[in-house]
Structure 1
Amino acid sequence: MAVDGPDLPGPAGGVTGPEVLARAIAERLPGRSRAAVVVPAEGFYRPASLRLEHGRTDPDARYTDWLDAGALAREVLDRCGPGGPGEYLPALWDLARDRAARASYQAAPAGGVLLVPGSLLQGLGLAFDVVVHLRVSPAARRRRAPEEREWELPAFDRYDEEVDPTTLADAVVLADHADRPALVLQGRLS
């Protein structure tokens, strides 16, 4: 399951976004007899030399160059999907140290749910069974984005225009106001 959307400050200065939602879902699934694991897409970002080749604040690079979608597919989705060995790599790249994470493969829980939170995940051909999209309008993104991350906003505008993630998702969480999200089911989940 993909949990797609921007990470933005929420109420009382806390961060809201795909990873927060994915972890909340993962906490509730064992009570429904489903084990869950969260594998953030950020662990599959490219090295800084590739990701930041056009500078630290290039919105086009943010949109196209940060995520190594091939590695995420190969090391997580394909391995946990049908015919795969039932294991996943929790991270390929350590962003803080800008070097290989050197993580070991982990066994996926039998009959469990794999949640991959991240930004700009749709439209890449990744084999997600279900996609939940956190929809934050352009106006709300501009209102909530910290000044040091405003350069990213055109990447999300382009994503909305080119991919239209709301129409591709199975469920949409309207998240203009992080303290009052609203769930809209569509597609296979409705």
Structure 2
Amino acid sequence: MLKNLGQRIRQLRKNRGVTLVEMAQKTGVAQATLSRIETGTMTGTLESHEKIAEVLGIGLAELYSGVDRRYEEIAHLPTEDRRVTHHTNQFQIELLTQESSKKKITPILITIQGESRIPMENLERGVEKFFFVLEGEVKVLLDAKTYTLKENETLYFDASLPHQISNDSKSRARILAAVSPSRF
């Protein structure tokens, strides 16, 4: 992500006396999208950057000058700082990153005790999940079909489909999961 690109666009726009409404009209980019770009909620597309630069009377190179191209944040999370979002006698869900609402992907550690299951869930359209079994064996009921996942096996799926994880063995199972876009 281009760090501080939105701040740069806002500064250049204001310096030229162009309102957000005018920028939207001249670029054909929705005002809400421009606002999100300026606040850093999204970066926009190359095409939108070209249109913005054109309205500002500059080239892309100048628009990008001074913009930090490194990732906005490198997130290191020590074990003791993990946040448990759900905890029952049967399972535990831990977030493996902080401020996950600002992330595109949320990594999660799911621990399921032996002979236990997580309640059925289905999320809104556009949400995807990825599971990697770190320890044990689990069954994932996904839209009326069961997938048995052993250690080091994976499953990637549309999380809007009804799904449930169960651990039929007597030993605990651990799954590294990734949810995109972030849901926590």
**Larger RCO: 1 or 2 (CA < 8 Å, sep 6+):** 1
Q: Greater strand percent: which structure? A: 2
TM-score in same-fold range (> 0.5): no
State the TM-score bracket (shorter-chain normalisation). Answer: under 0.3
* Larger of the two Rg values belongs to structure: 2
| TM-score (normalised: structure 2) | 0.22
Q: Greater helix percent: which structure? A: 1
| TM-score (normalised: structure 1) | 0.22
